[in-house]
Amino acid sequence: MTADVLVIGESLIDIVQRADGTVTEVVGGSPANVAFGLARQSVAVRFHTALARDERGARIAAQLRGEGVELVEASWSLAATSTALAEIAADGAARYTFDLEWALPVTPRVGDATLVHVGSIAAFLEPGASVVEHVLGGTDTLVSFDPNIRGALLPDRREAVARFERLAAVADVVKLSDEDASWLYPGASLAEVIAEVAQRGPRLVAVTRGGAGALLHAAGVTVDVAAPVVRVQDTVGAGDTFMAALIREVLATTDVLGAPTAERLATIGAYAAAAAALTVQRVGADLPRVDEVAAALRA
């Protein structure tokens, strides 16, 4: 498979504990979800992660490969596959506790990728984070970045903010949630955060706001995209769905990075919001396929 997108980042098993006491194990990790979501959006994708040759690692690999994701062989690098305890509240919101390792003994190879995506823990947790930063700083390929801040794993806040800003400076697309924005720039409005991030270099900045929709900004143009009104089962994977759908739309309409218009930004934002709305109506990170998103938009 010729990879259009290279995703670099963690994959793990989410141990999901729901408010009713039920516990299940599902494949998770923000970059893994993005790779999975891209494949379901009919985008060829190669994934460099960190797994162990244990039962959980085999399960992650089988699910990704089953959707057509090309798993880089160097991903088999850990002694034990990482996990995250996801406690789901009655309103569907998720709180995470992690047991993971992020290391890249083999440097990811960009090769012929059209775009490289990185995000979440992989962008901040050493020793792998420095490898990721080196790879992104040394490529002319399009780069997308989603910080997906996990504050409990970032003991040095100042260094985390500095790393975010360095990665934003080499990215073409930066997507963050309103919670990420508040953590990175406490007290700043979303407009101020967008301006702060945009002035560092990315050509497209998106901020998701849950049920309030999203803001997309490019070349001085900002659009406010509404979120479809749906019944929420849980929010697991919603941001990753938005990211995967946004990448798909950027690859399909690259003029949005070179000559954006409000109409074009609104169109790609509506697509990503529709995709995320489908995910929150389902249990777990069950990201939608491209035909499902198209049907939702028609409806």
For position 134, which CATH number holds? Answer: 3.40.1190.20
- Residue 3 — pLDDT band, cuts 50, 70, 90? low
Mean pLDDT on 183-192: 96
Q: Where are the alpha helices (DSSP H) in the chain?
A: 30-40, 55-66, 128-137, 157-170, 178-184, 190-198, 238-252, 255-258, 262-280, 290-298
Task: Tell me if 221 is assigned to some domain.
Answer: yes
- Domain hosting residue 262, numbered range: 5-290
Q: Give burial (CB, 10 Å; 0-12/13-18/19+) of 28.
A: buried
Using the predicted structure, report yes or no on whether residue 194 has a pLDDT greater than 70: yes
Q: CA 164 to CA 160: how far, in whole Å?
A: 6
Task: Tell me if 295 is assigned to some domain.
Answer: no
pTM for the model stands at 0.92
* Per-residue pLDDT, 2: 47
Task: Tell me if 296 is assigned to some domain.
Answer: no
* Per-residue pLDDT, 99: 86
Using the predicted structure, report yes or no on whether residue 286 has a pLDDT greater than 90: no
- Residue with token string 């984070």: 129
Q: CA 292 to CA 274: how far, in whole Å?
A: 9
Read off the pLDDT of residues 216-253 as tens digits, 9 standing for 90 and up: 999 999 999 998 787 877 667 788 999 999 999 999 98
Q: CA 115 to CA 121: how far, in whole Å?
A: 19
Beta strands 12-17 and 23-28 are antiparallel
Q: Are 236 and 32 in contact (CB under 8 A)?
A: no
- Residue 278 — pLDDT band, cuts 50, 70, 90? confident
Phi, psi (rounded to 5 degrees) for 121: -60, -35
**How many domains does the chain contain in total?**
1
| Alpha carbon of residue 129 to chain centroid | 16
Partner residues linked to 17 by β-bridges:
23, 87
Partner residues linked to 12 by β-bridges:
28
Phi, psi (rounded to 5 degrees) for 110: -70, -40
Partner residues linked to 84 by β-bridges:
14, 98
* Per-residue pLDDT, 150: 87
Mean pLDDT, rounded, of the chain: 90
DSSP state of 285: S
Task: Tell me if 298 is assigned to some domain.
Answer: no
Using the predicted structure, report yes or no on whether residue 66 has a pLDDT greater than 80: yes
Q: Shortest CA distance to 7 belongs to which of 248, 223, 207?
A: 248
Q: Shortest CA distance to 107 belongs to which of 222, 6, 221?
A: 6
Please give the structure tokens belonging to residue 118.
């990185």
Q: CA 181 to CA 81: how far, in whole Å?
A: 30
Task: Tell me if 297 is assigned to some domain.
Answer: no
Mean pLDDT on 69-85: 94
